[in-house]
Amino acid sequence: MSWSPIARFVEATVAVWFAALAAILLLRLATGAIPLDGLLKHDRRTLTFQFHRLQLVAVTLMMAGGYLILAIARGGHAQSLPDVTPPFLLAVAGSHLTYLGNKFALTRTLGG
């Protein structure tokens, strides 16, 4: 008995599942069921955004996109994912630490 057809079926099923989840998420984002107005600002009533939130989103999306490009460039059936290099990890960790540090300072200043 060959496992190849079963493996291809499972692979296709997982791909369809993730595509369906992505479609549902994008649809809910487009219709406003998942609000994004608090993503870049603390107070939803104001028009200004906070820089520490913007840099967190930007760096996270750039690093995730870069890693995705590296993973796709490895070919269709690579045996493992690409390694995460120290500069890559440092950029993500630094971005998150900057965000958390600023959030801590704002929480202490604004009291809550």
Could you read off the pLDDT of 34-71 as tens digits, one per residue?
887 777 777 767 777 778 888 888 998 999 999 889 88
Residue ranges of the domains in the chain? 1-34, 37-112
Give the rounded distance of the alpha carbon of 41 from its chain centre: 18
Three-class secondary structure assignment of the chain: CCCHHHHHHHHHHHHHHHHHHHHHHHHHHHHCCCCCCCCCCCCCCCCCCCHHHHHHHHHHHHHHHHHHHHHHHCCCCCCCCCCCCHHHHHHHHHHHHHHHHHHHHHHHHHCC
pTM for the predicted model, two decimal places: 0.64
